[in-house]
Amino acid sequence: MSDLRMQQPDGDTALAEWQYVHNTIIPTHPLSLDEVRERAGRNHLEVARLGDRLVGCSTVRPPTDESRTATVIARILDTHRGRGFGEQLYTRGLHHARELGAEVIETVVLSSNEDGLRFALKHGFEEIERYLLPGDTIPWIDLRLS
């Protein structure tokens, strides 16, 4: 399909790329590089590139012992959507979550991200909750794979 390369960020340059994608797609909740470093310590982050072009990023929040629920998030920059890259990131994240022992898969989408919500619903996720974080004006949507 493509020569999409996905890799874990291995330094500040790659973490800054992950941060750029996140902050572009989630402008209501921008993260600092320190916050991205902290997330990289507890979650599995990846950056997706096509040649020298940044395409997207992903996050897998590992399952907890209590719930066995993992969160898989794939983000693709607007200029690269509709070409199957989200599918590749999502499939890879789903596989990683299951390798970690996840029995339940969830995702979270900012409600203003219509493409992301459409992608999640198309892939079998069902909405379980909408909520506002303190100071936010745009709701988040938690979805669970059915």
- Could you read off the pLDDT of 108-145 as tens digits, one per residue? 999 999 999 999 999 999 999 999 988 889 999 999 99
pLDDT digits (tens, 9 = 90+) for 34-51: 999 999 999 999 999 999
Of 130, 132, 133, the residue nearest 143 (C-alpha): 130
pLDDT digits (tens, 9 = 90+) for 48-81: 999 999 999 999 999 988 889 999 999 999 999 9
Strand duo 44-50 + 53-61: pairing? antiparallel
Query: Which segments of 66-142 does DSSP mark as H helices, in order?
Result: 85-99, 114-122
CA distances from 34 to 40, 70, 83 (A): 10, 23, 32
Of 101, 3, 20, 95, the residue nearest 57 (C-alpha): 20
- Six-digit token pair at 30? 């921008």
What pTM did the predictor assign?
Answer: 0.93
What is 4-145's CATH topology?
Answer: Aminopeptidase (3.40.630)
